[in-house]
Amino acid sequence: MVKITVCTFWATLLLFLAGCTLQPAEPENPVDLNREEYRTWKTRGGSYASIRYTSLDEINRVNVADLEVVWSYSTGDLEAGDRTEIQNDPVKIGSTLYVVSPKLKIIALEPSTGREKWVFDPNVPGLLPGGESYVHRNRGLTFWESDHGRDRRLIYTVGPYLLAVNADDGSLVEGFGEGGIASFRQGLGERKNRSVFSSSPGVVYGDLYISGSTVGNAAPGHIRAFSVLTGELEWVFHTIPQPGEYGHDTWDDPDAWRHIGHANAWTGLTLDEERGIVFAPTGSASSDFYGGFRTGSNLFANTLLALDATTGERIWHFQTIRHDLWDYDLPTQPSLVTVQHNGQWIDAVSQTTKTGFVYLLDRETGDPLFPVEERPVPTETSLIGEQVWPTQPYPTRPEPFTRQSMSEEDINPYVSEQEQEQLRLQLQSLHSDHMFDPPSLEGTLVFPGFDGGSEWGGTAFDPETGILYVNSNEVPWTMTMVPAATLVDEIGHVPSDDSESHNRGREIYMSSCVACHGPQREGGGNNPSLVDVEERLTPAELLDIINSGRNMMPAFSHLPDPDKEAVVNYLIDEEFFVLNLNVQESVRDPEQRRAPYIFTGHNRFQTSEGYPANTPPWGRLSAIDLNSGEYVWRVPLGEYPSLKARGIEPTGTENYGGPVVTAGGLVFIAATLDEKIRAFDKSTGELLWEHDLPAAGYATPSVYEVDGKQFVVIAAGGGKLGTPSGDTFVAFGLP
């Protein structure tokens, strides 16, 4: 029998306690998961926080395999030969679902049946000032209602016009602008007649409609606020600072603001309604690939801006690319997230990029939650006048969600050995040692490509778990610059009929069109070929597209009529000619604003069959724990039927559109080239359900409920990368 004394007991107890580590209680998640905004879809992305989350759980892991089509609606916009798209996620306001058609009609539907209630068509002849009609991409509508709820408006842009439409009957709102139509060119100064519209909806704060823009031809990318009551301009933030404004000294040319454009928040804004902060992600400054006329780090291009929503004043900024030469726009709305760091819950903003980085920043200060390092990058360039910025910011966590380099070992294994060798030789000819290799005359690999990494579909964030879901592309592209003075010798010849009009048409094409359609008019990426365009379009139809734009192409209505006619005449000529510029004169006299180098087009690095030249995956869906910065899972997103038939595992495809995460344990996403919509287990990445669509769903799904029944709606618009266009919205639900 062992005898234990009192002293022995206390000594033993103290030794036991010394071996225990007391764990502090986990702080309670401050996010209210039952917020009303999580149960409806009142704006793009579900809410102004842009987290694409729903607390609805009728559809869940157990029953998702039973999902079926419960209704579909065709907008009637699909016509033979059209290359239209639908990029908007429908918004549900009360008992109505609002969608935007490929040709910019607002259509009000019964959300449980898809029955049409009314249609507003902005392109009815004579409706818009000047009589123009417009077709361009649209990512959704913005809803506003007065305090008493008797005044309900839908606001969006059609070309250079800002429209207010009565949400109850589809009529234009009197008192807003002129008969419901205000100018979207307000506040743009001397360049107000350049191409401008908004591909993404703005946000409403109080009685302010705050919006970025999509611009062309070096138009300014100001962020602006308009009155939702009158359509009048309320405030302007200059994304290229003017004299006396913060950031003006980041441009070596003090007059850069007069002639450099873009730096525009084309992908849309995010709003912290409680703090009154609007977050604006901006793109690159013009021109995209030659920066000799804009040396410096170039604030506020490629920057996440936090602005006072009431006044437009800058609160903080974070620049993700210095002196961008790769068209590495910030491609997505940031997401407002709440995460746990060092035992505390922190309100933050998450921004994904084309380069595959996730920047996680304190929402009030802009300070990174994970360290960001400024690392040296290649600066050597043969382009006259260019000054490459010597460093770029690298977040240390999370790891990039895409690969950022490609070597000879990464050549596509699914082609013949002979073609693999050809691809290897092509890769060897390119500058490909570093993600930030500058543009070059020899050609530079762009990987991640011009379309990311991340793209405009945005990310989904689960406020319950702190996990971010992001879809991404891993497809290489190439970028080649050509001295303007040598183009005649290398590509074309001097025209025999050297008329002034023809020369002017060539000049405008080379200054405004070549970046998308290429010096030989062969197009590339999502940009169509203009070779033999006269066989597909009449001169009048070409002129209409130049005036009004179409899909990805902005309008060039600001050009004088003789210049538009000159471009049309140039395009339908049987022979191809190029502009002859003097390189040295262009560099010595920047007032000419003629870049000494011309970008030869957005070209994918791919096989003869059209597959990416690198090893898969070519598209992925990733789950990232923002509390720790660690990956939870990654899976390929999409597949090629032709490769599947050969027994090849899913490779992923390029994808456009975003995910939605649900309290039912699911991630819904379409986006892929194989024209399917899918549901994944949000915890494991396991594929639980997939369904064919009538056309590819290059949009983000909307999720809402009617009388307790949950619906998932996706726009099947197609129209990219050779996939057929569509005009249908498809709703899924349980039987």
CATH topology of domain 482-600: Cytochrome Bc1 Complex; Chain D, domain 2 (1.10.760)
Give the model's pLDDT for residue 569.
72
Q: pLDDT tens across 559-571, in order? A: 766 677 777 777 7
Report the Cα 539 to chain-centroid distance in Å.
32
The rounded distance, in Å, linking the Cα atoms of 222 and 624 is: 33
The rounded distance, in Å, linking the Cα atoms of 548 and 560 is: 14
Give the model's pLDDT for residue 516.
74
Pairing of strands 161-166, 660-662: unpaired
Cα four-point dihedral sign 253, 480, 85, 93: negative
Q: pLDDT tens across 434-451, in order? A: 999 999 999 999 999 999
pLDDT range class, residue 265, cuts 50, 70, 90: very high
Q: pLDDT tens across 689-707, in order? A: 999 999 999 999 999 999 9
The rounded distance, in Å, linking the Cα atoms of 246 and 312 is: 13
The rounded distance, in Å, linking the Cα atoms of 481 and 231 is: 42
Token digits for 147? 């305090």
- Helix/strand/coil for 362: strand
Strand order in the sheet with 270-272: 270-272, 277-281, 303-308, 314-319
The rounded distance, in Å, linking the Cα atoms of 185 and 236 is: 12
The rounded distance, in Å, linking the Cα atoms of 166 and 163 is: 10
The rounded distance, in Å, linking the Cα atoms of 662 and 331 is: 24
Q: What pairs with residue 470 in β-bridges?
A: 622
Give the model's pLDDT for residue 592.
43
Give the model's pLDDT for residue 584.
37
Q: What pairs with residue 368 in β-bridges?
A: 361
Region 123-129: mean pLDDT is: 94
34 half-sphere exposure, CB direction, 13 A CA radius: 0
For residue 114, pLDDT over 80 is answered with: yes
3-state helix, strand, coil in the chain (%, to 5): 15, 30, 55
The rounded distance, in Å, linking the Cα atoms of 396 and 413 is: 32
| Contacting residues for 76 by C-beta, under 8 A, at least 6 apart | 101, 727
Residue closest to 314 by CA, chosen among 396, 256, 259, 248: 248
* Contact predicate 143/152, CB 8 Å: yes
Task: Give the alpha-carbon dihedral of 356, 360, 361, 363, to 10 degrees.
Answer: 120
Token digits for 225? 């606020």
The rounded distance, in Å, linking the Cα atoms of 653 and 656 is: 10
What type of residue is 466?
G
Number of neighbouring beta carbons within 10 Å of residue 543: 16
Q: pLDDT tens across 370-413, in order? A: 999 999 999 999 999 999 999 999 999 999 999 999 999 999 99
Give the model's pLDDT for residue 509.
76
Pairing of strands 477-479, 214-215: unpaired
pLDDT range class, residue 489, cuts 50, 70, 90: very low
pLDDT range class, residue 3, cuts 50, 70, 90: very low
Residue 29 φ/ψ region, left for φ over 0, alpha for ψ in the -120 to 50 degree band, beta for the rest: beta
Name the residue with higher pLDDT: 673 or 498: 673
Q: Residue 424: in which H helix or E strand, if any?
A: helix 417-429
Token digits for 644? 């599947």
Distances from the Cα of 168 to the Cα of 36, 171, 271, angstroms: 22, 8, 25
Token digits for 508? 């405008």
Q: pLDDT tens across 74-110, in order? A: 999 998 777 899 999 999 999 999 999 999 999 999 9
Q: What percent of the chain has pLDDT over 70?
A: 86
Buried b (16+ CB within 10 A) or exposed e, 379-388: eebebebbeb
pLDDT range class, residue 500, cuts 50, 70, 90: low
Distances from the Cα of 136 to the Cα of 46, 238, 397, 459, 560, angstroms: 23, 25, 37, 23, 22
Q: What percent of the chain has pLDDT over 90?
A: 76
Q: What is the CA radius of gyration of the chain?
A: 26
Residue closest to 394 by CA, chosen among 365, 368, 422, 412: 368
Token digits for 668? 């819904």
Q: Which residue has the tokens 């494991």?
A: 684
For residue 260, pLDDT over 60 is answered with: yes
Pairing of strands 460-462, 687-692: unpaired
What type of residue is 8?
T
The rounded distance, in Å, linking the Cα atoms of 728 and 670 is: 14
Pure H helices in 1-40 = 6-18
Q: What pairs with residue 136 in β-bridges?
A: 551
Residue closest to 712 by CA, chosen among 100, 75, 112: 112
Give the model's pLDDT for residue 578.
35
- Helix/strand/coil for 485: helix
* Contact predicate 434/633, CB 8 Å: no
Give the model's pLDDT for residue 556.
74
| Contacting residues for 532 by C-beta, under 8 A, at least 6 apart | none
Q: What pairs with residue 360 in β-bridges?
A: 350
Q: Please state the length of the chain.
A: 735
For residue 488, pLDDT over 80 is answered with: no
pLDDT range class, residue 593, cuts 50, 70, 90: low
- DSSP readout, 58-93? SS-TTTGGG-EEEEEEE-S---TT------PPPEEE
Q: Residue 341: in which H helix or E strand, if any?
A: strand 335-341
- Helix/strand/coil for 118: strand
The rounded distance, in Å, linking the Cα atoms of 732 and 70 is: 5
Number of neighbouring beta carbons within 10 Å of residue 599: 21
The rounded distance, in Å, linking the Cα atoms of 219 and 642 is: 43
* Contact predicate 152/145, CB 8 Å: yes
pLDDT range class, residue 216, cuts 50, 70, 90: confident
259 half-sphere exposure, CB direction, 13 A CA radius: 14
Domain parsing of the chain, residue ranges: 482-600
* Contact predicate 346/364, CB 8 Å: no
Q: What is the mean pLDDT of the chain?
A: 89
pLDDT range class, residue 494, cuts 50, 70, 90: very low
Report the Cα 211 to chain-centroid distance in Å.
15
